[in-house]
Structure 1
Amino acid sequence: MGDNETTTSIGWIGAGRMGYAMIERLLDAGHDVSVYNRTRSKAEPLAQRGAKLVDSPAQLADRDVVFVMVAASEDLEAVTIGEDGLLTADSSPQIIVDSSTVSATVSEKIRGLAAERGTALLAAPVSGNPKVVRSGKLTLAVSGPKEAFDRAEPLLKPLGRGVTYVGEGEVARLVKICHNVFLGVVVQSLAEITVLAERGGTSRQAFLEFLNNSVMGSTFTRYKSPAFVNLDFTPTFTNILLRKDFDLGLEAAREHGVPMPVAALAAEMVSSAIGAGHTTEDFATLLLEQARRSGVELVSENVDVDDGLGTDTNG
């Protein structure tokens, strides 16, 4: 692809909230990006920033590397092998980087069809949301042919702060599921200790400030602190989506013979929150359920809390 990565032509399928923010980072890094989005108007502002817009995935087939960021398995099939799909044109990209949330089965199917055309598929699930992307803190786990990863890595680096090659085939999908299981376990534990601290007489803001400055603090505990303190449950990730990942994680655990007692219990707490009606809000609503079980009535503390992401847009 040449010594200068910016000469590599990039295609991008799917300019939803996450895809849009990731495209912005590639454009800011000086890359040549052509974009297909099902609703063209949502991608129009990207054209003003230098992206070229196309009317079908097939029109991206002559690009060197094509990223895909769509919502579900059937969407991935539609944009690759459906009508005017990426893999239906005369030419094919050298590499497809798929960051969609899809099943390993569908991904393997597309991987095989792409390979027949000489195209390598990299599974590259991401951890983060649009604000995390814009602050340069997105992380990616990537699996597939190592040679394809080495060639695509310079294009992946501007997307965030961490790009990790985790192995062949679909193993990146499992890595992402393991990550999200941990997410659920941590937020449930954080809810328990935060309610205990408040019940004992401290404010949530003071407790979390102490925790975040300690060795136990993390990017995640800081990021969730405003939701816990001010009870703002605008969704970044819902309990419904989290339960799906717990189900996948526990299924994989049985398949591989790995007991996961803590994860299994946390999964039941997520189901309990869903049963209580917390289906469209953020999964930080696990805090509300913990408070309810503890006889604690939570009110917003209405204080400005740093989420730790800042406004760094340069990574």
Structure 2
Amino acid sequence: MTNIAFVGLGIMGSPMSVHLANAGHDVVGYNRSPEKTKPLTDAGGRAAHSIAEAVADADVVCVMVPDSPDVQQVLTAEDGVFDNAKPGTLVIDFSSIRPDVTVTLAEEARRRGFRMLDAPVSGGEAGARNAALSIMVGGEAADFEEARPLFDTVGKTVVHVGPNGSGQTVKAANQLVVAANIQALSEAVVFLEAYGVDTEAALTVLGGGLAGSAVLQQKKGNMLTRSFEPGFRIELHHKDMGIVTAAAREAGVVVPVGALVAQLMASAKAAGDGQLDHSGLLRGVERLSGRADR
């Protein structure tokens, strides 16, 4: 059994913390909205009233919050992890943030006597609930091996991809591929419907060929029913595409499709779709095609 503090109990963090509690670990959770601790407490975990309280006795601190400033606040604020956790504590950041911020925070963690892994995840809400996440981990190999049982509890594909920052770099690449896939699928759906094709049948046969993908299988239902309850929100993918384009520029590489999809994601957010699932990019294709009311 490991004493785990879990900071951030949203769409992803809540089921992840529950899996860890169900596996027999002592999990203390903290969330800015206290009511979101209920699934964890129902699973036998405990709720803390502050980050400082949550991390005080933890062997491992898990963080799952939306963006780089949020992670910085959780770790470096006066009531945060670095000022209140025990020296030697392993910090696992499951959030998706900028690689350069991760490297800086990992250096600060080492200076303060902590160990840190960046471990962003892919798979959305369904992956979190089914403990089937893909986890890309950056940091020291020894720390990765120590944390491996925890990763295996919440994920299905777990890979150590290099030093600190590498996990976030791989996650940025993941978000580029996923966004491009969703946009292409959206365009295909609107194209098929314009010709009166049985779209469900068409997507079934497409899914069995080279056009098949995890995106098609997981998102076709949303698009067919126009139901965009968030598994992963457009506003978060918009943030991630900003990371992709900025990191690509810093590396001196071009991502023309990524830049286009980043703009389409920004357009969807500006049109008021930020709280929808990222499969809601379909609505942007409908708007551009003059078919938004059909």
Q: Same fold (TM over 0.5)?
A: yes
2:126–2:231 Cα contact (<8 Å) kept: no
**Residue 42 (str. 1) matches residue 36 (str. 2):** yes
Instruction: In structure 1, give the amino acid aligned to 2:81.
Output: L
The number of residues matched between the two structures is: 293
Work out the CA distance in 1 between the residues paired with 2:259 and 2:274.
19
Match of 1:52 in 2: 46
Aligned-partner SS, 2:96: coil
Match of 2:108 in 1: 113
Work out the CA distance in 1 between the residues paired with 2:44 and 2:234.
37
**Residue 253 (str. 1) matches residue 248 (str. 2):** yes
Work out the CA distance in 1 between the residues paired with 2:47 and 2:267.
44
**Residue 157 (str. 1) matches residue 142 (str. 2):** no
Work out the CA distance in 1 between the residues paired with 2:35 and 2:282.
38
Structure 1: runs of 5 or more not aligned: 1-6, 300-315
Match of 1:78 in 2: 73
In the TM superposition, structure 1's runs of 4+ consecutive aligned residues that sit over 4 Å from their partners are 274-277, 295-299
Aligned partner (choices 212, 217, 220) of residue 215 of structure 2: 220
Work out the CA distance in 2 between the residues paired with 1:246 and 1:77.
20
Match of 1:122 in 2: 117
Match of 1:192 in 2: 187
1:249-300 Cα offsets, whole Å, 9 max, x none, are 122222223222222233333344445543433332332332344455675x
Aligned-partner SS, 1:225: helix
Aligned partner (choices 285, 289, 292) of residue 290 of structure 1: 285
Cα distance, 1:176 vs. partner? Answer: 0.9
Work out the CA distance in 2 between the residues paired with 1:276 and 1:49.
39
* Range with bigger deviation, 86-95 or 227-236: 86-95
Work out the CA distance in 2 between the residues paired with 1:215 and 1:223.
16
Cα distance, 1:142 vs. partner? Answer: 0.8
Match of 1:169 in 2: 164
Instruction: In structure 2, give the amino acid aligned to 1:260.
Output: V
Cα distance, 1:134 vs. partner? Answer: 1.2
Match of 1:242 in 2: 237
Structure 1 residues 170, 196: CA separation in 2 closer, same or farther (over 3 Å shift)? same
Structure 2: runs of 5 or more not aligned: none
Cα distance, 1:121 vs. partner? Answer: 0.5
2:16–2:131 Cα contact (<8 Å) kept: no
Structure 1 residues 91, 286: CA separation in 2 closer, same or farther (over 3 Å shift)? closer
Aligned-partner SS, 1:156: helix
1:58–1:87 Cα contact (<8 Å) kept: no
Cα distance, 1:229 vs. partner? Answer: 0.6
Work out the CA distance in 1 between the residues paired with 2:288 and 2:77.
49
Aligned partner (choices 25, 29, 40) of residue 23 of structure 2: 29
1:61–1:87 Cα contact (<8 Å) kept: no
The structure having more radius of gyration, on CA atoms, is 1
Structure 1 residues 203, 252: CA separation in 2 closer, same or farther (over 3 Å shift)? same
Q: TM-score, normalised by structure 2?
A: 0.88
Aligned 1:246-285 pairs, distance under 5 A: 246-274=241-269, 276-285=271-280
2:18–2:39 Cα contact (<8 Å) kept: no
Percent of residue pairs identical: 34
Aligned-partner SS, 1:162: strand
Match of 2:60 in 1: 65
Aligned-partner SS, 1:161: strand
1:62-105 Cα offsets, whole Å, 9 max, x none, are 32211111233333233323233222137234310011233334
Aligned-partner SS, 2:227: coil
Work out the CA distance in 1 between the residues paired with 2:36 and 2:274.
27
